[in-house]
Amino acid sequence: MKLRVHYGPIVALVGALRSSMLTFNHYEELLRARSVDGFMTRLRETSYGSLLSKLPPKIKTEDVEKILLTHYYQILEKVIVTTPQFSKKFLKAFLRKHELNCLKAIIKFIACNVDVEEALSVIVPVGRYDLNTCRVILETRDISRVFEFLEPDLAESIAITVKFLEKNPSTVPLEAAIDKYAMTQLWNSLREASGYDREVAEHLVGVEVDSVNVMTVLRMRELRMKTEDVEKFITPCYHYVSRNSLTSMSLASSTLEAIEFLKDSPYRSLAIKASKEPDRALSILEMGFKRYLAEDCEKVLLGDRFHLGTLISFLYLKFYEVSDLITMLNGKVEGLEIREIREALILHQ
């Protein structure tokens, strides 16, 4: 009863927001569009129509992406404002994760020596990484100087990557260190939750932690990093994939052998599917994790709604929907077949 009172307003808001999300039929209509213009016409006929009304007839893909992601970030901010005080810490950590994804994008652009204005045309500012901050960091054109703009605890947490950057130009270790920081902060923010509130939230976040850890280990393997180095990038939180399993994966002789260790977990079907296509195993597995989490989020929203899990489930699903729309749009721009686009979608598959 206590949770119902506290979560009443935010559950009502989430219910209203979720009612405007796209359905399977919407997805099919969008996929059947034969051109970018056709796709945009159909998208304007959905709940996203008002967001896109100010776009000129000749649209730029990056403008649409920015509108969609900014829309999601605005929804996240609205949820944070409306949620009970005792849940705000978690949701702020959830926002922090998105902020750090923005930081990772900045780092990639610097590493690829992309022009500042070109990078800014694609980057979607969020939270503490506003437009000016993004510009200032990009203008350094030096990954080592990124540390100057970070909070002390974040800078300290990812300082381990300096020696790897000196040996290898890949940004994978730096991105992995940022992911580790983000997911650790998110997991630790649940310590104040209790009972069913914590149980559901830990499961959903736990699936993402498993995904981040598994993909980190597999990508580090491809860089031929030593097991003792790989372990430094593992988020110290475990759900279905234990520390021992992750270590075993890092010691495997091949990517396929590493994936085999997932077959003794609830992710067995994901591992089997990824193993069937060795050349695409990592991308298939990563997509599998997202779809697995999305399915669990849908299940959570079918039951009792007065708990933190409802908020988390909606936010994951809404973000996945926006990501899918961006995937479909880019697929139409590139002239991909419906089958090819569908393979890259998370929801309604």
Query: Has residue 130 been placed in a domain?
Result: no
In the predicted model, what is the mean pLDDT of residues 257-265? 97
Query: For residue range 107-153, what is the model confidence (pLDDT) as tens digits?
Result: 999 999 999 999 999 999 999 999 999 999 999 999 989 999 999 99
Which residues, including other chains, have CB under 8 Å from residue 16's CB and lie 6 or more apart? none
pLDDT digit string, tens, across residues 282-336: 999 999 999 999 999 999 999 888 999 999 999 999 999 999 999 999 999 999 9
pTM confidence score? 0.95
Say what the alpha-carbon torsion angle 235, 241, 243, 245 is, to the nearest 10 degrees. -130
Structural domain includes residue 241: yes
Please indicate, yes or no, if residue 1 is contained in any of the structural domains: yes
Whether residue 57 is predicted with pLDDT greater than 80 in this model: the reply is no
Which amino acid makes up residue 178? I
- pLDDT reported for residue 304: 86
- Are 246 and 337 contained in the same domain? no
Assess whether 18 and 42 both reside in one domain. yes
Say whether both 281 and 314 belong to one domain.
no
Position 2 confidence tier, pLDDT thresholds 50, 70, 90: low
97 domain residue, yes or no: no
Among 78-82, 172-176, 202-206, 304-308, name the one with the lowest average pLDDT: 304-308
Of the chain, the end-to-end C-alpha distance in Å amounts to 36
Other CB atoms within 10 A of residue 239 CB = 19
Q: CATH no. for residue 341? A: 1.10.132
Find tokens 């030593």 and name the residue. Answer: 226
Tell me which of 303 and 175 has the higher pLDDT.
175
* 112 is a domain residue: no
The pLDDT of residue 42 is: 97
Residues 273 and 343 in one domain: no
Indicate whether 68 belongs to any domain: no
Q: Is the pLDDT of residue 61 over 70?
A: yes
Q: What percent of the chain has pLDDT over 70?
A: 99
Domain presence at residue 10: yes
Coil/strand/helix, residue 129: strand
What is the average pLDDT across 173-184?
96
How sure is the predictor about 3, in pLDDT bands with cuts at 50, 70 and 90?
low
Q: Would you say residue 1 has pLDDT above 80? A: no
Do 310 and 296 share a structural domain? no
Distance between CA atoms of 270 and 284, rounded to whole angstroms? 8
How many other CB atoms are found less than 10 A from the CB of residue 128?
Answer: 14
pLDDT value of position 178 = 97
Q: Provide the number of structural domains found in the chain.
A: 2
Assigned domain for 103 exists: no
Residue 276, Cα to own-chain centre: how many angstroms? 25
Residue 207 and residue 283 in one domain: yes
**Contact (Cβ atoms closer than 8 angstroms) between residue 117 and residue 129:** no
3 state SS of 46: coil
CATH code assigned at 240 = 1.20.1690
Q: Which domain holds residue 335?
A: 1-59+306-349
The answer to whether 146 and 110 have CB atoms below 8 angstroms apart is yes
Please state the rounded mean pLDDT for residues 170-181: 95
Q: Of residues 164 and 41, which shows the higher confidence score?
A: 41
Helix, strand or coil for residue 126? Answer: strand
